[in-house]
Amino acid sequence: MMERLFSDRGFVIHAAVYLGVNVLLAVIDVFTSPESLWFYWPLLGWGLGLLGHAYAVTHAAATAVDGSVMEQEDNADQSHRS
């Protein structure tokens, strides 16, 4: 499951941006207003979005416009390699 997650380029980019931006927000928050911390709010909110992205990558099947479930990309890639 983790292989699939980290082989998805979109998720890796999302996770890297999440990490970078939230570290920057935490540093800004700690140095500008250490008496009232707020950086955890975007961390939590965006973290829920990242979890949703992870779920979509690992569990959701691709669905066609008419609602029928299409074959997973991994299965299609493996059949082309044979």
* Low-confidence spans in the chain with pLDDT less than 50: 64-65
Query: How far from the centroid of its chain's Cα atoms is residue 9's Cα?
Result: 10
pLDDT of residue 13: 97
pLDDT of residue 4: 86
CB 73 within 8 A of CB 62: yes
pLDDT of residue 64: 43
pLDDT of residue 1: 78
* The two structure tokens encoding residue 67: 């609602």
